[in-house]
Amino acid sequence: MQKNTLAWQKLSAWGVRQLRRLLLLVFSAWLTFLLADFLFPLPTFKANQGFAQVITDRNGVPLRVFADEQGVWRYPTSKTLVSPYYLEALLGYEDRWFYQHPGVNPLALGRAVWQWMYYGRPVSGGSTLTMQVARLLDPHEKTLAGKAKQMFRALQLEWHFSKDEILNLYLNHAPFGGTLEGVEAASYAYLGKSSRDLTRAEAALLAVLPQSPSRLRPDRYPSRAQDARNKVLSRLADNQTWSPSEVADARLESVVAYYHGTPMTAPLLARRLHQEQPHQQVIKTTLDAELQLSLEQLLNDYIAAFPQGTSAAALVVDNRDMSALAYLGSADFANQSRFGHIDMINAYRSPGSTLKPLLFGLSLDQGIIHEQSMLLDVPADFNGYRPDNFVKGYSGLVSARQALQRSLNIPAVQLLQQLTPDVFYARLAQVGVTLSLPEGATPNLAMILGGVSSSMEDLVTGFAVFGRNGKTRPIRFTQDAPIAVERPLISDGAAWVTANVLREVSLSEADTQLATRVDQNIAFKTGTSYGYRDAWVLASSKNITIGVWVGRPDGTPLAGNFGRNTAVPLLKIILELMPDHLLEVPERPSSIERNKVCWPLGTLQSQQQSHWCYQTKTAWLIDNVAPPSIKDPFLTQWGSYLTQVDVDQEGHRVNPTCGVTAKRHAIAVWPLAAEPWLPKAWHRDALLPKWAKTCTPSGNDVRLKIVGLQSKTELYTSTEAPLLLNLDVLGAQGDVHWFHNGHWIGASTKPYKRALTISSVGPQRLTVMDARGLTETIEFQVLNQGG
């Protein structure tokens, strides 16, 4: 018994000594590791370093990638963002015990060494995922010393990083061939989708691809890639990671891959955001990649029919949050002959007539007009500014509605004169619509006809008010952009009335002179700059606003390039891609109702005497208010259309010099400047009472006189010798405008002589009008020679 006790004591003492030696050995190894870790620290290798900058759409689909300094495309991802199938395939095939081992798996390593010695060649790898990350972090030679270094780095990784952090490093840096690194970049490059959307078969393929990325490239060697994938599937079935039926289904899926290369969608917006945020790793835009790609192909095809040097641009914005859905700054980014590198969305160009709807809406709110107000489309001189219409000729009297639908210039300038250029300029600036004036210029009447420059971005921002109840805010291009304060430009009633006017103009109607009521949900306005340099169309519904531009980025003229001819056809194609819910019509506000108004006074029919109402129109009114007609801009003595005259007991016109008892009589008259387009019964001479025989007209009643032809004359002509008349005008001031049968045929300055050639037969009407709005008309007959 004593011997046994003594033996046990000796054994225990030996065990304690061995344990102490073991602990000392472990402690020494630990100190050695810590010292080595201090002396040979891990190279700088953090999860947010070394990535390409990726510009994505709203769903994370890469649009464009700006590679890192080495030209490598890495799209950052993480364990929580990739498909669970990929994680199962990766860990099931590469490292089942990843979450248990300390960075090195002794059993796997021992098995690999034994197989190498037995077969004389490597049969299975002994590297863990941590060791593979270590090799990516600090490459080494394939020697025993290199392997030892790799294991040391693996232990360091496990010491400094968590398991999930190590896994994320692998997901982002695993080699997939060429400049591709990381599973997300590989998934987009080979499969055209995010790694979060991988099928089991695709997950198995990407799990094995880093073993030999060049030899197994699925786009070049699909059969090799499929064999390697099936090897992964077999192992996943053997270790019961996936069920036999799941593996069988995955095997049925063929390997079909195409190399998509570095994405190049929305390149100009991507370039813009890259320049604005050069250090942001991932910039998530508001764009819809599918819509963007469709429109890029559409623009490319559309512009192919135009001469070299011509480009096009389009911007599609969701009115609900002012986020851009598509951004096409040029028609073909890679085409230098079409200046594809120039972004025409933020380039400043003449807007043509696209500002007219904004002026119309502001004029409604300011009580200057209602939609059926009477405006003048006649030759006009606004303090030295003499605009012409885009289509030569004048219409006389037009409603504000017609003037906007036909994009008439003279009425637009008349409105801007009433609102004032300063107010118009300031109100647009308040909501982010910048109008750039020529150097040294101040806001002026020419602005409304394109005498300023602006960008498509600003124009779309402004035009969006017609789908957003009169309010707007800056356009958002990135998901993290703060939502700016919403600012009102016009009331919801003015926005609805203006859009309703514009919706009546048919997109398919070739004749811009007439507006027709159509079943159309989009309100649009065209514009053309001087010299056909810029063709525009802006369009808005309740939920979407679209801007389209066609022209030459270098600013040279392009024959036939006007809004209706080149921009509208492109808009129509774009609209075909829009879902119906984006093209809804805004609801009519409760402030809008219909009522009857009368011309020439322009006010409600119910507020006028019946004999003042020469023409009745039905108008959409805001709060049932109908402002009176704008006064004649020529500022004649008949500046008001309701004039007071003195009449005697017989109703004859008199003045204070007549010495008779008189009473005041109110008469509605038309503007003198419109008389060339009015029937004779509406001329002022016909409407005003005749002068009493005992009275003489006052000196203010000056008349023009056409010299060289008398009224009621019969003239003769023949086809061989057209009729030539040499005419003159007496009593005129300023420019004299000539009208033949209601058509403007030109203007003349003093001495007001004009040669008129007439080749048609039948009744003729010749009218002249001077700068004061005074007119004179003669009617005559032209007959065939001998007829």
Q: What mean pLDDT do residues 214-220 have?
A: 91
Q: Give yes or no for residue 253 having a pLDDT over 80.
A: yes
Give me the mean pLDDT over the 41-70 stretch. 77
Is pLDDT above 90 for 9?
no
22 pLDDT above the threshold of 70: no
pLDDT in the model for residue 169: 92
As a whole-number percent, the residues of the chain with pLDDT over 70 amount to 87
pLDDT top residue among 732 and 232: 232
Average pLDDT value for residue range 455-473: 97
Question: Would you say the C-alpha torsion 65, 68, 72, 78 has a positive or negative sign?
Answer: negative
pLDDT tens for residues 699-708?
455 678 888 8
* Total residue count of the chain as it appears in this document: 787
Report the chain's mean pLDDT, rounded to a whole number.
87
What is the pLDDT, as a whole number, of residue 113? 55
Question: Which H or E element spans position 6?
Answer: helix 2-39
Q: What is the DSSP letter of 100?
A: T
Q: Identify whether 371 is a catalytic site residue.
A: no
Confidence of residue 157 (pLDDT cuts 50, 70, 90): confident
| Model pLDDT for residues 484-537, shown as the tens digit of each residue | 889 999 999 999 999 999 999 988 865 444 555 566 889 999 999 999 999 999
Name the CATH superfamily for 705-784.
Immunoglobulins (2.60.40.10)
Instruction: Please tell me the predicted confidence (pLDDT) of residue 698.
Output: 58
pLDDT of residue 398: 95
**Could you confirm whether 181 is annotated as catalytic?**
no
In the structure encoding, which two tokens stand for residue 369, read together?
């007009």
Say yes or no to pLDDT of 84 above 90: yes
| Higher per-residue pLDDT: 205 or 684 | 205
Q: What is the pLDDT of residue 691?
A: 84
pLDDT class of 415 with cuts at 50, 70, 90: very high
pLDDT at 46: 46
* pLDDT higher than 70, residue 110: no
Residue 9 or residue 241, greater confidence? 241
Residue 48: pLDDT band with limits 50, 70, 90: very low
pLDDT tens for 158-211 read 888 899 999 999 999 999 988 889 999 899 889 888 899 999 999 999 999 998
Instruction: Check residue 627 and give its pLDDT.
Output: 95
* Confidence (pLDDT) at 36: 59
Predicted confidence (pLDDT) at residue 742 exceeds the cutoff of 90: no
Domain ranges of the chain: 1-35, 68-251, 356-542+551-583, 705-784
Sheet holding 714-717, edge to edge: 714-717, 775-784, 762-769, 736-740, 743-748
> Residue 284 forms beta bridges with which residues?
56
For residue range 297-346, what is the model confidence (pLDDT) as tens digits?
999 999 999 999 999 999 999 999 999 999 999 999 989 999 999 999 99
Q: What is the pLDDT of residues 595-625, one digit of tens each?
A: 999 999 999 999 999 999 999 999 999 999 9
CATH code: domain 356-542+551-583 is 3.40.710.10
Q: What is the DSSP letter of 41?
A: P
The residues facing 754 across adjacent strands are: 727
Please tell me the predicted confidence (pLDDT) of residue 509: 60
Q: Tell me what pLDDT residue 778 has.
A: 86
Indicate the range of 8-12, 120-124, 567-571 predicted with least confidence. 120-124
Distance CA 265, CA 59 (A): 14
- Looking at residue 731, its pLDDT comes to 82
Query: What pLDDT score does 192 carry?
Result: 84
Residue 350 has pLDDT above 80, yes or no: yes
Q: Cβ contacts of residue 526 below 8 Å, gap of 6+? A: 352, 353, 354, 407, 512, 535, 536, 537, 562, 563, 564, 567, 568
- Kindly tell me if the per-residue pLDDT of 47 is higher than 50: no
Between 121 and 282, the more confident residue is 282
Please report, for residues 564, 702, 733, 753, 770, the alpha-carbon distance to residue 749 in angstroms, rounded to integers and kept in the order given: 35, 19, 9, 8, 10
Query: What is the predicted pLDDT for the residue at 71?
Result: 76
The per-residue pLDDT for 376 is 92
Residue 676 CA neighbour count, 13 Å, CB half: 30
**CATH code that applies to domain 68-251:** 1.10.3810.10
User: Which one of the listed residues 127, 195, 353, 491 is annotated catalytic?
Assistant: 353
What is the pTM for the complete model shown?
0.81
- pLDDT for 289: 95
The contacts found for 103-106 with CB under 8 angstroms, 24 or more apart, are 103/128, 103/130, 103/131, 103/134, 103/151, 103/154, 103/155, 103/157, 103/158, 104/128, 104/130, 104/131, 104/151, 104/154, 104/155
Q: Is the pLDDT of residue 579 over 80?
A: yes
Is the per-residue pLDDT at 233 higher than 90?
Answer: yes
Extract the tokens encoding 7: 């033996």
Q: How confident is the model at residue 67 (pLDDT cuts 50, 70, 90)?
A: confident
Indicate if the pLDDT at residue 6 is higher than 70.
no
Separation between Cα atoms, residue 462 and residue 538, nearest integer Å = 10
Q: Number of H helices and number of E strands within the chain?
A: 20, 27
**Which residues, 6 or more positions from 356, have their beta carbon under 8 angstroms from its beta carbon?**
404, 407, 412, 448, 525
pLDDT exceeds 70 at position 661: yes
Average the pLDDT over 653-670 and give the result: 84
Question: How many angstroms separate the CA atoms of 598 and 321, rounded?
Answer: 41
Q: pLDDT at position 11, please?
A: 62
The pLDDT confidence band at residue 49, using thresholds 50, 70 and 90, is: low
pLDDT band at 123 (very low <50, low <70, confident <90, very high): very low
pLDDT in tens, 622-642: 999 999 999 876 545 445 788
More confident position, 782 or 357: 357
